[in-house]
Amino acid sequence: MKLFPSQTLSSISKIIQAEFEGEKDFPVLGINEIHRVEPGDLVFVDHPKYYDKALNSKATIILLNKKVPCPKGKALIFSEDPFRDFNKISNHFQSFQKLNTSISQSAQIGEGTIIQPGVVIGNNVKIGKNCLLHPNVVIYDHCILGNNVIIHANTVIGSEAFYYKKRPEGFDKLLTCGRAIIEDNVEIGASSTIDKGVTADTIIGFGSKLDNMVHVGHDSIVGKHCLFAAGVAIAGVVTIEDNVTLWGQVGIASDITIKKGAVVWAQSGVGKDLEEGKTYWGSPADEASKKMREMVAIRQLGKK
């Protein structure tokens, strides 16, 4: 999430009453989750396993729970509980806004767009021209739909990320302040769910088509002209390049990349990066031709 206007190291530290290391006027341009950080962003880290990853990331302000040497060109903010304080910062700049009408007065809706009964459109939503939203579609705050987008009944765009920290007394939720962006000419089937990014954007690319009951997790990026059949479930922070086909009930683990033109057959479980232009099958998914040979070999084991 970009901050407008930009903030300073001292102003951010004041929100959470924390010590900092660096020039007090050091600029803070945004806040972001580790997988999507850019220069000028603030990121949090609360586990020693990930200190180096955060300190060496593109982020230039690191909120952490240990005093360490400050890398050149960066700034540090020290907190007893970075997860909690990151939530405080997120809430400060984008707190929950109650919706008092089915379609927010702040929503921008393009010419020729048709909105069927029961649709709910949140605050600061932008919808392009000639879209069609079928009954009971819900568009959460800050989401963006391009032109010629079709959303079928009961689908939710911009639901909150499934992101929790386990504590002795239960689970703490990381507040979600990103967006979901649906580009031009996308069609999304009934009862599907597209989570918005934790602090960045979940994107469904130009011309992609999603069947019924498809789920796309937070901060995932789907390329152009992808085709997903019913029941596909994609975890958070997945990158799917252009022209990828996922058949029914394919499951995709978090933080992996499926490269351009790959095809994954139905009911496969994908737990690693997939190469460009190849066909995959199985759980764990591997090249379909290899899986077929393995099945033949296994059947031969039982023969005399």
Domain finish residue from 64, 93, 122: 93
My answer on whether 86 and 112 are in the same domain is no
Whether 113 is covered by a domain: the verdict is yes
pLDDT confidence of residue 115: 98
CATH code where residue 55 lies: 3.40.1390.10
Q: Return the residue matching tokens 């959460």.
A: 140
DSSP strand E in 189-274: where?
A: 193-195, 201-204, 209-210, 215-216, 221-222, 227-228, 233-234, 239-240, 245-246, 251-252, 257-258, 263-264, 269-270
Domain count, the chain: 2
**Amino acid residing at 13:** S
Whether 101 is covered by a domain: the verdict is no
My answer on whether 144 and 281 are in the same domain is yes
What CA–CA distance (Å, rounded) separates 33 from 63? Answer: 11
Domain finish residue from 59, 93, 127: 93
CATH code where residue 224 lies: 2.160.10.10
My answer on whether 45 and 181 are in the same domain is no
Whether 256 is covered by a domain: the verdict is yes
What CA–CA distance (Å, rounded) separates 173 from 164? Answer: 5
My answer on whether 77 and 135 are in the same domain is no
Whether 269 is covered by a domain: the verdict is yes
My answer on whether 186 and 264 are in the same domain is yes
The helices-and-strands tally (H runs, E runs) of the chain is 4, 34
What CA–CA distance (Å, rounded) separates 142 from 122? Answer: 7
What CA–CA distance (Å, rounded) separates 69 from 245? Answer: 46
pTM of the model: 0.94
Compute how many other C-beta atoms are within 10 angstroms of the C-beta atom of residue 69: 8
Q: Can you say how many angstroms the Cα of residue 62 is from the centroid of all Cα atoms in its chain?
A: 21
Whether 76 is covered by a domain: the verdict is yes
Nearest-5° Cα angle at 174, 234 to 103? 75
My answer on whether 171 and 259 are in the same domain is yes
The contacts of residue 4 (CB under 8 Å, 6+ apart) are none
Sign of CA dihedral 33, 37, 40, 43: positive
My answer on whether 126 and 181 are in the same domain is yes
- Bridge partners (DSSP) of residue 182 are 145, 204
Whether 102 is covered by a domain: the verdict is no
Q: Return the residue matching tokens 């009944």.
A: 153
Whether 177 is covered by a domain: the verdict is yes
My answer on whether 165 and 284 are in the same domain is yes
Helices (H), the chain: 9-16, 51-55, 82-93, 288-301
Q: Regarding beta strands 164-167 and 170-173, do their DSSP bridges make them parallel or antiparallel, or are they unpaired? A: antiparallel
- Bridge partners (DSSP) of residue 26 are none
The residue annotated as part of the active site, out of 35, 215, 218, 225, is 218
The contacts of residue 259 (CB under 8 Å, 6+ apart) are 241, 244, 273, 274, 275, 276, 277
Phi-psi region at 154: left, alpha or beta (left = phi > 0; alpha = psi -120 to 50): left
My answer on whether 170 and 268 are in the same domain is yes
Q: Can you say how many angstroms the Cα of residue 118 is from the centroid of all Cα atoms in its chain?
A: 26
Whether 301 is covered by a domain: the verdict is no
- Bridge partners (DSSP) of residue 215 are 193, 233
Domain that includes residue 39, residue range: 2-93
My answer on whether 129 and 264 are in the same domain is yes
Domain finish residue from 54, 70, 93: 93
User: Each residue's pLDDT tens digit in the chain (304 positions)?
Assistant: 999 999 999 999 999 999 999 999 999 999 998 988 999 999 999 999 999 999 999 999 999 999 999 999 999 999 999 999 999 999 999 999 999 999 999 999 999 999 999 999 999 999 999 999 999 999 999 999 999 999 999 999 999 999 999 999 999 999 999 999 999 999 999 999 999 999 999 999 999 999 999 999 999 999 999 999 999 999 999 999 999 999 999 999 999 999 999 999 999 999 999 999 999 999 999 999 888 888 888 888 867 5
My answer on whether 69 and 168 are in the same domain is no
Q: Return the residue matching tokens 């300073």.
A: 8
Based on the residue annotation, tell me whether 215 is a catalytic residue of this protein: no
My answer on whether 129 and 257 are in the same domain is yes
pLDDT confidence of residue 304: 58
